[in-house]
Amino acid sequence: MINIAICDDDRPLTGIIEQLLHKTASEQGVDISCEVFFDGSALIRAVTEQQMCFDLIYLDIEMETMDGIRAAQALREHELPALIVYMSGHEEYLKELFYTEPFRFLSKPVTEDEFGPIFSSACERISRQTGYFTFSYRKASHRIPFNRITCFESNGRVISIHLSEQGVPKKACLPSQFYGKINEVEQQVASQNGRFLRVHQSFLVNFDYIKAIAATEIEMLDGRIIQISEDRRKAVRARFSALADVKSVHTLY
């Protein structure tokens, strides 16, 4: 799933962009989710207050309340790594855009011939970047990089996401719990990232944060000890052996 934001105060154009996105994504076999904003300040509030995350943002430069360049500067200050595709009928802004690390520039009026290749390139870039675990919390969609998650812990219907100390972006407060089933989380993670091990009915751990492993338990880098279920020990040992790098992880069995 690629999460996309469209931000433009030209309402008819946002409809055109959204239609082009769904059409192009369907043709390219890409699963997308779109949110539309009509000024830069609304986009910033969605990111900073609702903790919404986007992979790709189509951003108009000239808007009344907050223009696209100021909005992009705010996004970068909050360390949002989204690809930004600027849209404008004028090209005199190109020098200013450089400082907000834009991905592409779409000239208005937007044409399907130009739109398709840019979308395709964006999808390719996103697919090469670190994967994200996505989940819903308080009716909003959130995502956390897999390489910042130490483990998932299930307690009934509540799933807790344990993060490394570097897992919380500056100036942001990530939700750490959501409602779900650990089996479904395991399936979602396995389809996107192959470095998580189901060691217990209640725990799905990131191999990269394992410090040591014994016959019945593992020790995480943060010192936490997690038991390995008896019925999972053989599978965990086999999976661990397949992933293990003896230079970084010490095996005790």
Decide which of 95, 128, 161 is a domain's last residue. Answer: 128
Sheet holding 210-213, edge to edge: 225-227, 217-220, 210-213, 250-251
Please check whether residue 135 lies inside any domain of the structure: no
Predicted confidence (pLDDT) per residue in 128-152, tens digit: 666 788 888 877 778 787 878 899 9
Q: Are residues 94 and 177 in the same domain?
A: no
Q: Are residues 166 and 76 in the same domain?
A: no
Decide which of 84, 101, 128 is a domain's last residue. Answer: 128
Q: How far apart are CA 214 and CA 227, in angstroms?
A: 9
CATH of the domain at 79: 3.40.50.2300
Q: Are residues 42 and 124 in the same domain?
A: yes
Confidence band (pLDDT; 50, 70, 90) for 252? very low
pLDDT at 103: 87
Q: Are residues 92 and 188 in the same domain?
A: no
Q: Is this structure's pTM higher than 0.75?
A: no
Q: Are residues 12 and 124 in the same domain?
A: yes
Decide which of 128, 159, 191 is a domain's last residue. Answer: 128
CATH of the domain at 191: 2.40.50.1020
Please check whether residue 137 lies inside any domain of the structure: no
More confident residue, 17 or 89: 17
Query: Does residue 43 carry a pLDDT above 60?
Result: yes
For the chain, what is the mean pLDDT? 84
Q: Are residues 10 and 99 in the same domain?
A: yes
More confident residue, 188 or 138: 188
Please check whether residue 139 lies inside any domain of the structure: no
Q: Which domain holds residue 154?
A: 147-251
Please check whether residue 142 lies inside any domain of the structure: no
Q: Are residues 119 and 155 in the same domain?
A: no
More confident residue, 157 or 140: 157
pLDDT at 84: 92
Please check whether residue 93 lies inside any domain of the structure: yes
How many domains does the structure of the chain reveal?
A: 2
Lowest mean pLDDT, pick from 52-56, 215-219, 223-227: 52-56
Query: Does residue 170 carry a pLDDT above 70?
Result: no
Query: Does residue 5 carry a pLDDT above 60?
Result: yes
